[in-house]
Amino acid sequence: MRDQAQEGVAEILVDEPVAYERALVFARRFMPHLEDRIRLWDRPEALFEVFDVEEVIAEALQPRVRLPSGGFVVIDQTEALTAIDVNTGRFVGEADQEATVLHTNLEAAEVIAHQLRLRNLGGLIVIDFIDMERAENRQKLYDAFRAAMVGDRAATTVLPMSELGLVQMTRKRGRESLAQVLTEDCQACGGTGRVKSAETVAYEVMRAARRLLLRPRPGKVAARALTVMAAPEVAALLTEPRLGMVEAVAELTDAVLEVRADPALARDAFDLVERD
C-alpha cells in the first residue's frame, strides 16, 4: 500500500475483514491521509470480478502483450535481465513502412512503461524496438518512452537508443515481481519453460537399458530380461516397429525387453527393472 497508494488514488477497496483492519492500522501509523479512503468491500459480487482484476492478472502473467494496432510485445523475464521484443504482427496500416514501424514502436513504448509497473519488473531491462532508419524517428521514440516512464515511482535510468534500436534501462527492484509473487517454478521443466521431447527421452531410455544389460555383474550371469516403465508417449515410441528401438537393444544384449506405459510418470522419468 505504501508503494502503490499515490495522491491520485481515490479509494482503496479491501474484500477481507482482517486485511481491512490491518490496512487501517497501517494507514493510521504511516499514512494517516489515506485512512478515510480505505473501504471494506461488502457487496455480494466478488471484488476481483467487478473490476476484472482476474483478467488483468492473467494477462500480466503471459509473455505476449497485444498492441492496439495488432502488433505485440514479448516480455521475457530471466535471472540476469528482462528482455522485451517489439513486433508489428500483421499491422500494415501506413503506406510508408517507416511510418508503420514508428506507429507500432510508439504504441509499444506506452504499453511497456505500463507493463513494467504492472509486473513490477526491476533490474536490467533491454528493449528491442523495431529498427527505424531515420534518426529523428528514433529520437521521437526515445522521447516518448522517457515521457511514458515519468509516472513511475521506482527509480529508473534510461540510456539513449542504440543504432540497432535497443534501449537499455534499469529500474530499481524494490520487491519481487508479480510473477515471482504469484507463481513458482514448473516441477516438470524446473523453471526453464522447456521439457525434453518424447523422442529424446526414448533414446535416453534405450541407452540406459543397454548400459544396464551390458554392465559386468561379478558372480552373476547377465540379466536376461528387462522391464521398462515409461510415460505413455515415450512408451509408444519405444514400441514403434518402424523405429526398432527395443529390437536393436534386444539384439545387442541378447535379452528380452518389455515396455509398459505408466501414466503416473512424468515424460522424462522412467524405471528399469531387471529380471534374471
Same structural domain for residues 65 and 144?
Answer: yes
The C-alpha cell 544389460 sits at 213
Same structural domain for residues 3 and 36?
Answer: yes
In a domain, 61, yes or no: yes
In a domain, 151, yes or no: yes
pLDDT at 192: 75
In a domain, 208, yes or no: yes
**Helix, strand, coil in percent for the chain, rounding step 5:** 40, 20, 40
Spatial neighbors of 34 by CB under 8 A, at least 6 apart, are: 1, 5, 9, 12, 27
- What whole-number distance in Å separates Cα of residue 174 and Cα of residue 176? 7
CATH number at residue 208: 3.40.1260.20
Same structural domain for residues 218 and 239?
Answer: yes
Same structural domain for residues 100 and 170?
Answer: yes
Same structural domain for residues 88 and 168?
Answer: yes
pLDDT at 272: 95
Domain final residue pick, 182, 207, 236: 182
Same structural domain for residues 63 and 163?
Answer: yes
pLDDT at 221: 61
pLDDT at 137: 93
**Which of 127-136, 138-147, 216-225 is least confident?**
216-225
Same structural domain for residues 222 and 121?
Answer: no
Same structural domain for residues 101 and 165?
Answer: yes
- Mean pLDDT throughout 3-25? 86
Same structural domain for residues 204 and 223?
Answer: yes
Beta strands in the chain (DSSP E): 12-14, 38-40, 64-66, 72-77, 82-87, 123-128, 156-158, 166-171, 225-230, 256-261, 270-275
Domain final residue pick, 182, 217, 240: 182
Q: What is the pLDDT of residues 211-241, one digit of tens each?
A: 998 887 676 665 678 999 999 999 999 999 9
Please tell me whether the overall predicted TM-score, pTM, comes out greater than 0.75 for this model. Answer: no
In a domain, 220, yes or no: yes
In a domain, 188, yes or no: no
Residue 128 has pLDDT above 90, yes or no: yes
pLDDT at 110: 96
**Structural domain count of the chain:** 3
In a domain, 191, yes or no: no
- What whole-number distance in Å separates Cα of residue 238 and Cα of residue 246? 6
Task: Extract the C-alpha cell encoding 85.
Answer: 521484443
pLDDT at 29: 92
The DSSP code for 97 is H
Same structural domain for residues 13 and 88?
Answer: no
Q: What percent of the chain has pLDDT over 90?
A: 59
Domain residue limits at 266: 198-275
Same structural domain for residues 59 and 157?
Answer: yes
In a domain, 187, yes or no: no
Q: What is the pLDDT of residues 160-209, one digit of tens each?
A: 998 777 999 999 987 889 988 898 888 777 777 788 999 999 999 999 99
pLDDT at 70: 87
In a domain, 32, yes or no: yes
- What whole-number distance in Å separates Cα of residue 63 and Cα of residue 85? 10
Residue 124 has pLDDT above 90, yes or no: yes
Domain final residue pick, 182, 214, 232: 182
Task: Extract the C-alpha cell encoding 167.
Answer: 534501449
Q: What percent of the chain has pLDDT over 70?
A: 93
Q: What is the pLDDT of residues 90-108, one digit of tens each?
A: 656 556 788 889 999 999 9
pLDDT at 193: 77
Same structural domain for residues 99 and 210?
Answer: no
